[in-house]
Chain A
């Protein structure tokens, strides 16, 4: 069974004009969000995006933008409590900080 999370929330944006068609985004996306059509990347399933930021980080033409962040409730709560940006630091909470 396929996992599906909330719809219509992702901040992922792709500029077709800037795209140079290298296909790197299709290589790095862990959820198959991108596909290639006539030597341009296109978003095929936006709702599968988990905002990891791999595509934007690896796009040599800066054609992709996404507010990358951790999809983790614990991190968000810790961010609220400490007034800092949510980060993936739960793993070291008790032992190293």
Chain B
């Protein structure tokens, strides 16, 4: 910690110049500092700059996603005093930005927990947005000497990690769970900490699903490139080389599982994700076969091979979207997988064998 300004102060006021939260002076989102009885606290802007928006776009595509974080500690919005509300959040920069842009015109404190750069809900599931971290952070920031009230507003999605009554028992702070979405925080504070059922319920809109799909694509892209590499190598030996048609067929099946199925999720009949992906995969494959001339002799082996391999690939990728969804239970996923995984494995490997036979002896 820096002591450079403490020389001319008396012993008591000297401490108040100590920073409670360390931050990078070059960060555009810090507007200045505010003095508290226990030290200086950075004041954050409620506007997002180009750098914040670019940063959000990058992490959505998986670039530097695991290291997009801010220092945990106490931050200020507006000109908060000892009576201002305290909002608790995670140190994922994307989460922090979503929260602060909803706080314009408010005077409040933000207590940021160290969630290792993970969002509130996922961190709560892991336990890093948790009871112990919250209790530790309250004492490290000496929050009880900065505010005179004893109330914390936690995001509702932090609840899987935090035991509210345990926090109260150990710190004296009572916990109120705020709304699920940051955009409702103003209405929540204005209504005297009351959240409507609508504010309490997690949604999973088409937009919510759309912003997740780039990450699904990026994760799959590596194996996609590997398959193209294998196809290229096989082309050196086989009678019927893999070509544009195979490239389109395969890429289409991947996009069906990672983008189209997530986007159309609630309108696709059925409940299991693998089933939904398989269904769209079959549509894609049938469309492809129809476009290529249908089930005619000479094309039959290839068509059946496609029909076995491609939909099962889409099914597998769609099944993995359960992890990004907001409503699948562990028990449900296990039940789905016990049926889907063996079927996918058998169908895919059989399809692959047929495609190879078709290429070698065509």
A residues near B, CB below 8 A?
Answer: 1-7, 9-11, 24, 27-32, 48-54, 57-58, 60, 67-77, 86-92, 95-96
Contact = CB atoms under 8 A, between A and B. Distances in A.
Interface stretch (B183-191, B263-271, B290-298, B304-312): B263-271
A10 B331 contact: yes
Interface stretch (B7-15, B199-207, B348-356): B199-207
Given A9-B331, A30-B326, A32-B197, A73 B266 contact: no
B157 interface: yes
Interface-centre pick from B66, B266, B325, B331 (highest chain A CB count, 10 A): B331
A86 B333 CA distance: 12
A9 B323 contact: no
Contact of A30 (B201, B267, B323, B325): B201
Interface string B311-328: 000000001101101111
Contact of B323 (A11, A73, A95): A73
Contact of B320 (A27, A74, A89): A74
B156 A27 contact: yes
B200 A30 contact: yes
Contacts of B104: none
Interface in B197-239: 197, 200-202, 204
Interface-centre pick from B125, B157, B165, B267 (highest chain A CB count, 10 A): B125
Contact of B322 (A9, A52, A71): A71
A57 B124 CA distance: 11
Contact of A31 (B266, B322, B327): B327
Contacts, number: 138
Closest 7 CB pairs of A and B: A72-B323, A69-B330, A71-B328, A54-B159, A28-B159, A1-B266, A30-B202
Interface residues of B, number: 48
Nearest to B316: A73
23 contacts: A3-B266, A3-B327, A24-B164, A28-B156, A28-B159, A30-B200, A30-B201, A32-B197, A52-B160, A67-B331, A68-B160, A70-B125, A70-B323, A71-B325, A72-B320, A72-B333, A73-B273, A73-B320, A73-B323, A73-B336, A87-B126, A88-B122, A92-B66
B26 to A, nearest CB: 24
A51 B273 CA distance: 17
B159 A50 contact: no
A31 B201 contact: yes
A22 B4 CA distance: 51
Nearest to A2: B266
Contacts of B164: 24, 58
